[in-house]
Structure 1
Amino acid sequence: MPPLALAAYIGNFDAVRCLLDKCSNDAYRQDTNGFFPIHIASRNGNIKIVQEFLNHCPDLKELHDKQGRNILHVAAAYGRAKLVEYMLGTTKLEMLLNERDNFGNTPLHVAVQNWHPRIVKILTRDKRVHQKILNNKGMTAFDIAEKSEKLTLMALRLANAPRSEIQRVAKESGANDYGEKTKNNPDYLLFSRENMNTLLIVSTLVAAITFAAGFTVPGGYKNSGTDEGMATLRNTALFQIFLICNTISMYSSITVAIALIWAQAGDLKMICVAVRTILPMLGLALIMMSVAFLAGVDLVANNLTCGYVVVALGSFFIVQVVVFILPLTIPLSSKNCITHFILRGNLRLLMMVTRYEVESG
């Protein structure tokens, strides 16, 4: 590795400055991986060193590695969010925003391919980034994201990123024609037999738990008197909340299980219906089961000193359940501004939890 490339790799700013003053020609030497020193600095997310390279040799921004990637491509590929923001804010680097590599991928394509939702969010906020550009496979960044992980797809959908025309037609054909074309529909592919089996197990467990809870109610039953066999706490508000939420949870999970059984039979129409309804119904069942549990626990712990702690903990975790379930249950294609506001906040929270909001190390 050339000395300048090594200095850029270890992030030694003083060494980079000194070497650039004495032998700036080394800035144009590639290493064995096809990286120029400025690409190495970009890969490591070192803004100061990238600035120093560009101050000494402004034309370095035009260099490409062996894959045809510029420094913005590299920063996007390695999740260097602060460096990407710096490049977007530098007018002299505007030419890099929509540049394509040897595979036709823009920095946005590359960010999606490497599962960096934070980079995707930063790039799609900039109106100069063209989201309709197709790579050599005829795919937009959104087309790639449909086969990628959920948060990246969520970030693109909230930015109203478009599909390619070919993918759009295929999607519409798959949604309206329940023949062989449906099997090319990305939503259909999400519901593989393994995924459906997992969801069926979850829905069956929820149904079993809520069924049992309906007959082992909190507080038990009266053993004598005219109300023998009736629930002891039936007149309390919390008990009624418990019953309502438990009932909703049970029947939602049963509905999901039945739909999945039909889907297992290979009914393509049922699979397309399942895509639109199963996850929201299952999400509702899990949320209602959580609320029913909290209401039941609060009933029996009402007079205990730890009652408030139990309610606080339960409420905190129910909020967490809602945060994690919402992206799976709310249609991301919705144009409703309130839904968009909720999902944007939800996306930010999920990226913080999954540490996508933290600069890659």
Structure 2
Amino acid sequence: MASSSGERHSGSPMEANAPAVPPMDAKLMVATGRGDCQQLKDVVNKEDAGMMVVVMASSNTRPSVSAAASPPVAMHPLLHASASSGDWKGLTFLLNREESQADPTNKPSQEFLKSLQACTSGGNCTNGRLPTPPQASNDIEEGANMPLLLSPESLLEGVTIEGDTALHVVATHGDGHNFLKCVDTICAKGKHLMFKQNNKGDTPLHCAARAGNHEMVDKLIGLAIGPSRREESVDKIENDLHRSENLSTETPLNDVGRMGVEYLRMENDSKETALHEAIRIGHSPLVKKLLAYDSELARFPQEGTSPLYLSILLEQFDIAQTLYDQSKQHILSYSGPTGQNALHVAVLRSTEMTKVLLEWNKNLTMQGDKNGSTPLHFASSRTILSNHGVYPHPCISCFRVPFPRFKVLTEVLEDNGAPLYQPDNVGMFPIHVAAAVGEKQTIKLFVKRYPSSAGLRDKQGRTFLHVAVEKKKENVVRYACGNRSLAWILNMQDNNGNTALHLAVEAKNHSMFCSLFQNRQVQLNLVNVKGQTARDISVNKIPAILHYNQGTANNIFYALTLTGAMNGTCRWDHFLKNYKDIHQVAIDGKRTDLKNMTEATQTMVVGAVLIATVTFGVTFAVPGGYIADDHPHGGTPTLAGRYAFDAFMVANTFAFVCSTIATVGLMYSGSPMFNHKSRTFYISTAFYFMRTSITCMIVAFTLGVHMVLAPVAPRTSFVVCVISPLVVVWCKMKYWLKWLALAPSLCVRAGYIFTLGLLFPFIIVSSTIFEYWPVIFTFTWAAFGRRATHL
């Protein structure tokens, strides 16, 4: 313990006018350990403490270097616990000890005293957990250094981790009589805490409204109003609330005073008032009460999320109606985040609320958000989520309540059709938005009511058809191509000169190409700014390196060529150079090709070797077994000479030979000893023979099962023979489906005689011979061999 003395110097002018005081030595006494506390108290009691400054500090506490840089003082655990539980007696003892001692009825509980002694006796005392010692003494004087020597003002300066003061804590945790008395106790020592904000900018009023504590809200607002106006204002509010559920604009406004209005309109960091918190929890009576205090409260904030926007967003439509009814002269804020207004969210939530908002304010339809999107843009983007893969199974969408988006669109269009012609910041109109999400019915509604909207272009010169093709919305493309009234937009070109057909070929989308190709109004030979037609683009989409020659790009090229589509205006040598530049054939193309060969070889060689192994083993384990050695022709197959057996052996041989050729070809294609052209040839032939070996293996399997089961289970044998070829059909199914989809378009473009009489028969015959010649040879040779045997 140390002390020092010095002369007293004059301070403020008030000190100068004060009566003369005889000079005295000022004493500064510091207790740095627990042993000094009692000694310091004895000195204070014996000596004149008028000129004494007492400081008590723990010996292991380090003072901060800079007071400005020090963190906020942590709330004392006893204060926090008392405020959280509504222990107004404990709060009174901590903040006004003289009053607590003068009135025995205000004496804190034994539990509080035990916790106090635990903290002051050196026990562990942490926020939220107050240790209880094994025995407690009623003499709380001894050792009560921390909470009792600090002034009430110092105690109330403590905050929680979230920055909440004691008043925040009380307002959050209760609404009863004890909590209200806690508010009185705290505000008696620090009324400024009512206006203090935590780390998120919330005042105690925000906390009370968030918790739905309407009595606490009344208490806080009453303290902000002041005692002179509190009783009168509360009486008026209660009469207004009980007189009618829906207050009219003629309801007299309550005079809550300037301080009360400022307190009600205080915003947190999210620019939200206590009214927002009441709306967020759906507390309609509390919303009415706050509006009764301030009928202009729904006007704030004027930018950001307004109470009306929040109520519609949370589908609290009864609260939205209350906001409108109780607002002064029905004036309130319609604003929302990012420049939106309440109608932006209403069109996504409710048809009825959309209709009501349009009755309240018709100007909302023309207001755009920060992206320039109007509410009609939002309504046009409304779609069924299951169409976009949001739900894991399409059947889940069957259990959803369908949103009546067409009623919303109808309400907005009937009120004002001008927003349909209002673009956003990138020039997209509502019809473009509908096309981007694939809303065909919405586009039909727009075109039916306003036919000229079909030709609207965005900043890139795109119509809704261009957008639908780029976003691969096939249903919209089919609708546009099938609607005769939209023929005038089919050949519109964007800023790059591309029509919808150019973009469909560029996207290599077979379905959209067929829809456009089938419409004779679509021009095939229009050129873009690069001088390219759709056929030129189809050529560029065919890779110059190793690829599957029956892909979509090849089919589109064949279809355009068969119907007489022409090339563009570019010289052919320049076109070929550009083609090579696109695919970088010279250097990068070969590197990519060799990499693809290596990867394909590693994958295919496993299957080829497996087929070769299986077919080799089947040759020596034929169906039906072998003739015993003690019989004529012992060791030969028992079923030899039958038609099915001969066909089985030929098919199995083809499978073995083709898989072996594929294996050798894959070995050569993966070897760096051969040049690029040779390796390409080997892997192409290996792929063909690999596919052929699979077909022959399926034929051999089917014949083998048939030989074994036909004599004893003919029906089962028949089923196996029907199911087994599904593998072969599946391998070629995509190829045939693409040509089948092209058939109607080719009939329209090239005629029925050419398509059905010449083209398709040629494709069917040539493809069958090319793919299934081993199968044809197998059954033909088996029949010939059986006939030669009989001869």
TM (norm. structure 2) is 0.37
1:248-291, Cα deviation, whole Å (9 max, x unpaired): 12212222222232222342222343465333322211111111
2:597 corresponds to 1:204: no
Between Structure 1 and Structure 2, whose CA radius of gyration is higher? Answer: 2
Higher mean C-alpha deviation, range 192-201 or range 98-107: 98-107
Higher mean C-alpha deviation, range 290-299 or range 218-227: 218-227
Instruction: Quote the Cα distance in structure 1 between the aligned partners of 2:505 and 2:407.
Output: 34
Partner residue of 1:313 out of 695, 717, 723: 723
Compared with structure 1, are the counterparts of its residues 231 and 160 closer, same or farther at alpha carbon in structure 2 (3 Å cutoff)? Answer: farther
Higher mean C-alpha deviation, range 208-217 or range 89-98: 89-98
Higher mean C-alpha deviation, range 281-290 or range 120-129: 120-129
Higher mean C-alpha deviation, range 67-76 or range 128-137: 128-137
Instruction: Quote the Cα distance in structure 2 between the aligned partners of 1:4 and 1:326.
Output: 43
2:408 corresponds to 1:15: yes
2:504 corresponds to 1:94: no
Compared with structure 1, are the counterparts of its residues 27 and 113 closer, same or farther at alpha carbon in structure 2 (3 Å cutoff)? Answer: same
Q: Number of aligned pairs?
A: 333
Partner residue of 1:252 out of 620, 643, 658: 658
2:377 corresponds to 1:5: yes
Unaligned runs of 5+ in 2: 1-372, 384-404, 738-757, 768-791
User: Where does residue 85 of structure 1 map in the other structure?
Assistant: 478
Counterparts of 1:85-234 in structure 2 under 5 Å?
Answer: 85-102=478-495, 105-114=498-507, 116-127=509-520, 128-130=522-524, 133=527, 140-143=536-539, 145-146=541-542, 151-161=551-561, 165=572, 169=576, 181=586, 184=589, 191-224=596-629, 225-234=631-640
SS in 2 for 1:160: helix
Compared with structure 1, are the counterparts of its residues 221 and 101 closer, same or farther at alpha carbon in structure 2 (3 Å cutoff)? Answer: farther
Compared with structure 1, are the counterparts of its residues 4 and 132 closer, same or farther at alpha carbon in structure 2 (3 Å cutoff)? Answer: closer
| CA apart distance, 1:44 | 3.6
Compared with structure 1, are the counterparts of its residues 151 and 262 closer, same or farther at alpha carbon in structure 2 (3 Å cutoff)? Answer: closer
TM (norm. structure 1) is 0.75
Amino acid at match of 2:466: H
2:466 corresponds to 1:73: yes
Compared with structure 1, are the counterparts of its residues 114 and 229 closer, same or farther at alpha carbon in structure 2 (3 Å cutoff)? Answer: same
Instruction: Quote the Cα distance in structure 1 between the aligned partners of 2:466 and 2:531.
Output: 18
2:263 corresponds to 1:263: no
Partner residue of 1:284 out of 673, 692, 695: 692
1:21-69, Cα deviation, whole Å (9 max, x unpaired): 3222211333467532101222343334323323444443333345543
Larger RCO, structures 1/2 (Cα 8 Å, 6+ apart): 1
Partner residue of 2:646 out of 230, 240, 260: 240
Contact between 2:539 and 2:557, CA under 8 Å: does it hold in 1?
Answer: no
| CA apart distance, 1:189 | 7.4
Instruction: Quote the Cα distance in structure 2 between the aligned partners of 1:28 and 1:246.
Output: 69
User: Where does residue 338 of structure 1 map in the other structure?
Assistant: 761
1:215-263, Cα deviation, whole Å (9 max, x unpaired): 2222222232232221121222111111111111221222222223222
Higher mean C-alpha deviation, range 182-191 or range 270-279: 182-191
Compared with structure 1, are the counterparts of its residues 133 and 25 closer, same or farther at alpha carbon in structure 2 (3 Å cutoff)? Answer: same
SS in 2 for 1:192: helix
Compared with structure 1, are the counterparts of its residues 207 and 100 closer, same or farther at alpha carbon in structure 2 (3 Å cutoff)? Answer: farther
Instruction: Quote the Cα distance in structure 2 between the aligned partners of 1:310 and 1:49.
Output: 50
Instruction: Quote the Cα distance in structure 2 between the aligned partners of 1:189 and 1:94.
Output: 47
Contact between 2:508 and 2:553, CA under 8 Å: does it hold in 1?
Answer: no
| CA apart distance, 1:295 | 0.8
Instruction: Quote the Cα distance in structure 2 between the aligned partners of 1:31 and 1:182.
Output: 45
Amino acid at match of 2:686: I
Partner residue of 2:703 out of 295, 302, 305: 295
User: Where does residue 53 of structure 1 map in the other structure?
Assistant: 446
Amino acid at match of 1:30: P
SS in 1 for 2:381: helix
Amino acid at match of 2:518: R
Compared with structure 1, are the counterparts of its residues 8 and 169 closer, same or farther at alpha carbon in structure 2 (3 Å cutoff)? Answer: same
Compared with structure 1, are the counterparts of its residues 87 and 295 closer, same or farther at alpha carbon in structure 2 (3 Å cutoff)? Answer: same
Contact between 1:210 and 1:289, CA under 8 Å: does it hold in 2?
Answer: yes
1:178-237, Cα deviation, whole Å (9 max, x unpaired): xx7597489957953212332333222222222222222222222322322211212221
Contact between 2:493 and 2:499, CA under 8 Å: does it hold in 1?
Answer: yes
| CA apart distance, 1:99 | 3.7
Unaligned runs of 5+ in 1: 174-179, 328-334, 345-361
Contact between 1:221 and 1:228, CA under 8 Å: does it hold in 2?
Answer: yes
- Report which of the two has the higher share of helix: 1
Compared with structure 1, are the counterparts of its residues 275 and 108 closer, same or farther at alpha carbon in structure 2 (3 Å cutoff)? Answer: farther
Instruction: Quote the Cα distance in structure 1 between the aligned partners of 2:766 and 2:473.
Output: 24
Compared with structure 1, are the counterparts of its residues 166 and 46 closer, same or farther at alpha carbon in structure 2 (3 Å cutoff)? Answer: farther
Compared with structure 1, are the counterparts of its residues 249 and 118 closer, same or farther at alpha carbon in structure 2 (3 Å cutoff)? Answer: same
Instruction: Quote the Cα distance in structure 2 between the aligned partners of 1:280 and 1:2.
Output: 57
Amino acid at match of 1:278: A
SS in 2 for 1:234: coil
Contact between 2:381 and 2:433, CA under 8 Å: does it hold in 1?
Answer: yes
Amino acid at match of 1:6: F
Contact between 2:376 and 2:412, CA under 8 Å: does it hold in 1?
Answer: yes
Instruction: Quote the Cα distance in structure 1 between the aligned partners of 2:670 and 2:412.
Output: 65
Compared with structure 1, are the counterparts of its residues 24 and 3 closer, same or farther at alpha carbon in structure 2 (3 Å cutoff)? Answer: same
Higher mean C-alpha deviation, range 288-297 or range 54-63: 54-63
1:6-25, Cα deviation, whole Å (9 max, x unpaired): 22222622332332232222
SS in 2 for 1:194: helix
Compared with structure 1, are the counterparts of its residues 261 and 310 closer, same or farther at alpha carbon in structure 2 (3 Å cutoff)? Answer: same
Q: Percent identity?
A: 24
SS in 1 for 2:480: helix
1:313-356, Cα deviation, whole Å (9 max, x unpaired): 224444334435879xxxxxxx9642445899xxxxxxxxxxxx
Higher mean C-alpha deviation, range 58-67 or range 143-152: 143-152
Amino acid at match of 2:681: V
SS in 1 for 2:694: helix
Instruction: Quote the Cα distance in structure 2 between the aligned partners of 1:126 and 1:10.
Output: 29
Amino acid at match of 1:70: T
Compared with structure 1, are the counterparts of its residues 188 and 267 closer, same or farther at alpha carbon in structure 2 (3 Å cutoff)? Answer: same
Instruction: Quote the Cα distance in structure 1 between the aligned partners of 2:455 and 2:675.
Output: 53
Compared with structure 1, are the counterparts of its residues 22 and 325 closer, same or farther at alpha carbon in structure 2 (3 Å cutoff)? Answer: closer
Compared with structure 1, are the counterparts of its residues 168 and 227 closer, same or farther at alpha carbon in structure 2 (3 Å cutoff)? Answer: farther
Instruction: Quote the Cα distance in structure 2 between the aligned partners of 1:25 and 1:217.
Output: 80
Instruction: Quote the Cα distance in structure 2 between the aligned partners of 1:273 and 1:184.
Output: 16
SS in 2 for 1:230: coil
Instruction: Quote the Cα distance in structure 1 between the aligned partners of 2:606 and 2:529.
Output: 40
Instruction: Quote the Cα distance in structure 2 between the aligned partners of 1:189 and 1:121.
Output: 34
Amino acid at match of 1:159: A
Compared with structure 1, are the counterparts of its residues 195 and 230 closer, same or farther at alpha carbon in structure 2 (3 Å cutoff)? Answer: same
